Structure 1
Amino acid sequence: MIRGTAILVAGFVLVAAAGAYFWTADASGSGPGAMPEDVDLSAGEALYIENCAACHGANLEGQDDWQSPGEDGRLPAPPHDETGHTWHHGDQVLFEYTKLGGRKLMAAQGMEFDSGMPGFGDQLSDQEIWNILGYIQSTWPERVQEMQATRTEGETRKRED
């Protein structure tokens, strides 16, 4: 029971913080909130393998027991395939989370929480991050891509209001 509660609390904190950050700031100044049209999926796949696969898996499968915090309180790396929660977030949230990392994103909202996700803004250009995200999204079934695109559109509309 305690473990289940910890999972729910950690998940809620992550989603709430990412959502709050999305609505109040664009720390990167990277743009409109939706993926650019000029992503390079081949480059994204290579960059994913080089920068992401060690934690999130070569087949985007994530780490075992990814929904249960480890002894350090961090959640293992989630899958980026359709079985995970990546597609539950709009493009800009995914971009900022990748660029800034979990701790910095949460700190920007006044929360102290370390998801374990490092920021890649110092190693990867904005375009390279978009390429990786484009590659990840290209692996999802069409219905999942459509649901994620709808979330991105809704978040972009609210941001523009």
Structure 2
Amino acid sequence: MKLISLIVVFFISNGLNIANAHNHFPITTVSKLMIERGKIAYENNCVSCHMINLSGAENWKGVDSDGHRKAPPLDGSGHTWHHDDKTLHAIIKYGLAKLVKNYEGKMIGFEDKLSDKEIDSVLAYMKSYWSKENYEYQLKLN
């Protein structure tokens, strides 16, 4: 009987966690306010590597003087739109080192600097630069 009670409590508590989870995908470009907030967060946190116009580092497919891959463009001309929102959100939040074994690049996480909503806003801002085709393709990944 105790075992059954523990199992019931486990499923109820996990069900509540799932029900209370912030379901923020897919991220769209519908809200102009969200895009503006994303632009501010991007300019304060991302522009030093990914550039002011989201174009990424020059010759971004190569490596820098430290041997690390350069920052890719986020404007739709690179591969960003090939990934679903959950993956993109996790990369921004946690950095690639926590997601890719043996990663030794420069993409750090921003979980101490940006809230989930701010990360979502950055993604909306990025998507506002993408072509209609890339945007619609990426939405289907979610």
TM-score range, shorter chain: 0.7 to 0.9
**CA deviations over 1:22-48 (Å, ceiling 9, x no partner):** xxxxxxx65465337777111111111
CA–CA distance in structure 2, aligned partners of residues 35 and 114 of structure 1:
29
Residues 1:141 and 2:141 aligned together:
no
Q: Which amino acid in the other structure matches residue 117 of structure 1?
A: M
Which residue in the other structure is 2:18 paired with? none
Q: Deviation above 6 Å: which 4+ runs of structure 1?
A: 36-39
Give me the CA root mean square deviation. 1.9
When structure 1 is superposed on structure 2, of 54-63 and 32-41 the one drifting more is: 32-41
Equivalent residues of 1:35, 1:92 under 8 A apart: no
1:131 aligns with 2:125: no
C-alpha displacement of 1:73: 3.0
SS at match of 1:96: helix
Match of 2:104 in 1: 114
1:1-161 mapped onto 2 (5 Å cutoff)? 31=23, 33-35=25-27, 40-106=34-100, 111-152=101-142
Q: Is the 8 A contact 2:76 2:127 kept in 1?
A: no
TM-score by length of 1: 0.68
Bigger radius of gyration among the two: 2
Q: Secondary structure at the match of 1:134?
A: helix
1:127 aligned counterpart, secondary structure: helix
Aligned residue for 1:35, secondary structure, equals coil
Paired residues, number = 120
Distance 2:92 2:106 in 1: 11
Unaligned runs of 5+ in 2: 1-20
Structure-2-length-normalised TM-score: 0.76
Amino acid at match of 1:138: S
Matched residue, 1:8 = none
- Percent sequence identity is 36
The alpha-carbon distance between structure 1 residues 93 and 141, as it changes in their structure 2 partners (threshold 3 A), is same
1:118-139 C-alpha deviation (Å, 9 max, x unpaired): 1000101000000000110011
Q: Name the amino acid aligned to 2:27.
A: M
Secondary structure in 1 matching 2:99: helix
